[in-house]
Structures are given as structure tokens and as C-alpha cells.
Amino acid sequence: EIVLTQSPATLSFYPGETATLSCRASQNVSPYLAWYQQKPGQAPRLLIYDVSHRDTGIPARFSGSGSGTDFTLTISSLEPEDFAVYYCQQRSNWPLTFGGGTKVEIK
Amino acid sequence: EVQLVETGGGLIQPGGSLRLSCVASGFTVSGNYMSWVRQAPGKGLEWVSTIYSTEITHYADSLRGRFSISRDNSKNMLSLHMNNLTAEDTAVYYCARGGGDAFDVWGQGTVVTVSS
């Protein structure tokens, strides 16, 4: 099973700052890495698929990068609605796995 | 509009069985990878199962044998049959389009509580 590690579990920012979130895989998952956003009481929402492709309607301030085992989600100029939990997920191998999540909170 | 709506959750006693359903609109379940993902209270996301193509299925190792995924193309519906439930199965269960692809459409979730 491929383990995805997201650390730290919580990051604090002021609105307008840039957030950089990390996801590390226990083996190569390129290019099959996705990022999701989840707000309290809501279903997750797909932000990025295949490392760097934004899903339909996702603002350009969200970007993904990385390769092999190390991946990054960058949120430029955080908006109030961006404070949420973010998960990475791999579909390179079965079983599919998610990272433990990073909560982006307001400082 | 592309949409998924889950039903079937509820309170069930340990050892019991439950069937969750998910009706799709705006696309066909038969033409897509379809999956179940769950989230225990206060925890992260956990993939449960995926079905695709000519009824090829995959399951999380810890659930194999107790959970069974299926689809009814005539009703455009996905199902999850869950047996021998324990407290550890308490979670919000989401139906999602994807598995072989990223999960790009999600239902609102249905709550399963296993308790005596």
C-alpha cells in the first residue's frame, strides 16, 4: 500500500498570504496525484488532478507541482473561503490512498 | 446537472447489515469508474471500493469480504452492501465518480452509525 504523508497537520496564515502544502508518497505515484479541499460539513471537492491540472472552475490561485514522491499544492493570496482541510490522493496503485490531510487555518 | 445522491444510512447494531445506494444524474454510472469513500467522525478520507468496466471491483484490504460494491445500470445507481458491521465502520459514506480517474463528482454523503 502506498502511504501518503501530509505534514504538518495544521498550517496558519493571514488572508492574502501564500500557502504551500506538502504531500510525500512512499513510492513513485507520478503523475497520478490529486488534491481535494474539504470544508466542515461538506463533501470534498477536487482541485487538482494528475499533479498539476486544475479541475473545471477551480481558481488559478490553486496550483499543483511535483514528481516522483514529492508533491506540492500552492494557494496564492489566500482568500477567506480557502481556509479548509486539504487532502492529497494517489491512483497509481490499488488500493487507492489519501493523505491524512492538512488544515489551513486563519492566523 | 451532474449529481450524486446517496441514501440508506442510519443507526445499525453491531453485527448488522446495511445497503447504501447512490443515484447518479447527468451522466451514466456504466460509463465511469464509481467508488465509495468514507470518513469516520473527526478523521480523514478513506477509500472503500471501486467498480468499473465489466464489473471489475477493488476493495480496501481491511474491508474485503464484508463489503460488496455493485451497480444497476438500468437505474443508473451504485450500491454498497455492508455486512457484519462494527463500531469502526461508523462514518459518513460518500459516493464519488472516479477511482481510475480522480474523484471529480461527490455526493453529499450518508451517515452510518454502528452502535447498540
Per-residue pLDDT of A20-33, as tens digits, reads 999 999 999 999 99
Give the integer Cα–Cα distance in Å for A75 and A63. 7
Inter-chain touch B106–A91, beta carbons under 8 Å: no
Chain A, nearest residue to B93 by Cα:
A43
Chain A, nearest residue to B97 by Cα:
A46
Q: What integer pLDDT is reported at residue B53 of this predicted model? A: 79
Give the integer Cα–Cα distance in Å for A39 and A19. 17
Residues of chain B found within 8 Å of residue A1, distances taken between Cβ atoms: 61
- Say how many C-beta atoms besides its own lie within 10 A of residue A30's C-beta: 16
Mean pLDDT of A28-50: 98
Compute the nearest-CA separation of B15 from chain A (Å): 25
Strand partners, A75: A19, A62
Is A40's Cβ below 8 Å from some Cβ in B? no
Q: Is the pLDDT of residue B64 over 80?
A: no
For chain A, the average pLDDT equals: 97
Cell representation of residue B111:
451517515
Inter-chain touch B60–A44, beta carbons under 8 Å: no
Q: What integer pLDDT is reported at residue B112 of this predicted model? A: 98
Chain B, nearest residue to A50 by Cα:
B102
Nearest Cα residue to B66 out of B50, B46, B48, B53:
B48
